[in-house]
Amino acid sequence: MRDVAVIGIGITKFGELWERSFRDIGIEAGIKAIGDSGISGADIDALYIGNMSAGAFVNQEHVASLIADYVGLAQTSHVPATRIEAAGASGAVAFREAFLSIASGMHDIVVVGGAEKMTDIGDELANSVQAMAIDQEWETVFGATYASLHAMMARAHMERYGTTREQLAMVSVINHRHGALNPDAQFRREINIDTVLRSGMVADPLRVFDMCPLSDGAATVVLASADIAEKFTDKPVKIKGIGQASDTISLHDRRDITTMDATVYAAKRAYDMAGIKPEDVDFAEVYDSSTISEIMAIEDLGFFDKGKGGKAAEDEKIALGGEIPVNTSGGLKSRGHPVGATGVAQIVEIVKQLRGEADKRQVEGAKIGLAHAIGGTGGTAVVSILEAMR
C-alpha cells in the first residue's frame, strides 16, 4: 500500500448562506482546494463527494456528476466522480475511499469534497431529513428524534459516571470559544455555561446549545500519492492511519449506550495503522453533534478514561492550551454542521493546524492530529490520523 498525503485544502464559510446554492458552495470549496494544491484539472484522476441528502435538502441527486461538471472536469477529462453517503460520516468515508484509491495504486491524485445545503427547506423538514440517519422504522416511527437519542446517551452517562449538566455545557462553551477564532465558523460568539443551561429544552436533559446547528457549507481536500506530493506543495500532510467501523443503526441495539463501539473500533484500526497510541495525538477534531457525543468521543478515542470525559471538559483539558485541544475549528457546534461536509472540514482543520496556518487558534507544536466522524447515533465511525511530512 502506498502512502497518501493531503496536498491541498479548501473550505467555504459555514452558516446560513442564503445567496449561495448547493452547487455554488461545492464549487467554491473545490476551486479553493485545487488552487491551494498547485495541481491542474488534468492531473485529477477521480472525484469523491461526501453528501448525506441533497435529494431531500435541495431536490438534487446525482451530485457527483454535478460537482464534476461545474468544477470543469466532466467535459474534458471525464473524471470518475462518486458520491458517498454515510450520514454525518459521509465526508469522512469519502476521504477514506479516496485514500484507498490512491493507496491501492489505482489513482495518483484524487479530490474529495463534502457539501450540504440544509437551509433551503424549513427547520422542521431539515430536522426530519437529518433524522433519516437513525432507524426510521424502529426509532423515528415511535417518536424518537435525533436529539432525544443523544439525550438518552447523556442521561445514561450522567447516571453511570456522574457526568454533570454543567460539564456537558462546558463542551459547548469551549467549542464556541474556539469557533470565535475561526473566520469560517457559523457562530463566532463566546458563550458561558448559563447560555447553555438557559437555552430552550430540546430533549431533556439536552438543550438548544447542546446541539449542533443546521448549516450550509462545503469543504474539499486534494490527496496525492506521498511520493509525488512534494511536487505540488512544500507542506504535505501524510495520512498516517485511517480506520472505519460500523455498529447497529438503532441506538437501542447497542451493547452500551455510553460508548460508541464504532468509534472504539475505528480508532483501534487507525492507531494500529499509524503505529501510535492515543497519548501521541496532539489535537483532534471530534464529532460533537451534541455535547454528550463529544464527551463520549474523547473517552472512546482513548484521550481520557471512560467516565472521565465530563471532568476533562470541566477542567478545560480539551480547550486550546489544554492537555489535548479538541475541535479548534469550533466543532460541529460552533463551526457548523453541513452534514456531508463535516468529515472533510475536519481534515481541513487538521491540515491547517499541521501546516501552522491556524492563526489565533494554532495549537503550538502540533505534529499529529486526529479527525473523528460519526454517522447517525454511531452506526458508522471514521477515525483518521494525520501527520506533517516535514
Residues 299-358 that bind other proteins (CB under 8 A): none
* Angle ∠(50,133,309) on CA atoms, nearest 5: 90
Q: Using CB under 8 A as the criterion, what x/- string covers residues 156-175 for binding other proteins? A: x--x----------------
Using the rule CB under 8 A, is 138 a contact of other proteins? yes
Cβ atoms of 24 and 196 closer than 8 Å: no
62 vs 160, beta carbon nearer other proteins: 160
Omega of the bond leading into 80 within 30 degrees of 0 (cis) = no
Please count the residues of this chain forming the interface with other proteins, following the rule CB under 8 A: 36
Cβ atoms of 315 and 173 closer than 8 Å: no
* Residue with the three cell numbers 472525484: 47
Q: How far is the CB of 295 from other proteins (least distance, A)?
A: 15
Using the rule CB under 8 A, is 148 a contact of other proteins? yes
82 vs 246, beta carbon nearer other proteins: 246
Cβ atoms of 271 and 370 closer than 8 Å: no
Among 33, 68, 98, 153, contact with other proteins (rule: CB under 8 A): 153
Using the rule CB under 8 A, is 109 a contact of other proteins? no
141 vs 365, beta carbon nearer other proteins: 141
Using the rule CB under 8 A, is 246 a contact of other proteins? no
Among 128, 192, 195, 199, contact with other proteins (rule: CB under 8 A): 128
- How far, rounded to the nearest angstrom, does the alpha carbon of residue 15 sit from its chain's CA centroid? 15
Helices 339-355 and 90-103, interaxial angle, to 10°? 60
Q: How far is the CB of 158 from other proteins (least distance, A)?
A: 10
Among 137, 183, 277, 365, contact with other proteins (rule: CB under 8 A): 137
**C-beta neighbour count of 192 within 10 angstroms:** 14
Using the rule CB under 8 A, is 231 a contact of other proteins? no
Stretch that binds other proteins, among 49-57, 124-132, 293-301, 303-311 (CB under 8 A): 124-132
80 vs 205, beta carbon nearer other proteins: 205
* Residue with the three cell numbers 482543520: 349
Query: Coil, helix or strand for 86?
Result: strand
- CA–CA separation, 119 vs 125, rounded Å? 10
**C-beta neighbour count of 62 within 10 angstroms:** 11
Spatial strand order of the sheet with 216-225 comes to: 81-84, 46-50, 109-117, 216-225, 4-11, 237-246, 380-388, 368-375, 283-285
Cβ atoms of 368 and 82 closer than 8 Å: no
Residues 266-295 that bind other proteins (CB under 8 A): none
Using the rule CB under 8 A, is 296 a contact of other proteins? no
Cβ atoms of 63 and 97 closer than 8 Å: no
96 vs 207, beta carbon nearer other proteins: 207
Identity of the amino acid at 389: M
Using the rule CB under 8 A, is 253 a contact of other proteins? yes
Residues 368-387 that bind other proteins (CB under 8 A): none
**C-beta neighbour count of 68 within 10 angstroms:** 25
Q: How far is the CB of 269 from other proteins (least distance, A)?
A: 20
134 vs 383, beta carbon nearer other proteins: 134
H or E stretch covering 309: helix 309-314
Among 2, 252, 357, 360, contact with other proteins (rule: CB under 8 A): 252
Among 142, 183, 277, 365, contact with other proteins (rule: CB under 8 A): 142
Among 204, 227, 272, 279, contact with other proteins (rule: CB under 8 A): 204
Closest CA to 297 of 263, 252, 270, 323: 263
Residues of this chain that bind other proteins (CB under 8 A): 124, 127-128, 131, 135-145, 147-149, 151-153, 155-156, 159, 200-206, 250-253, 257
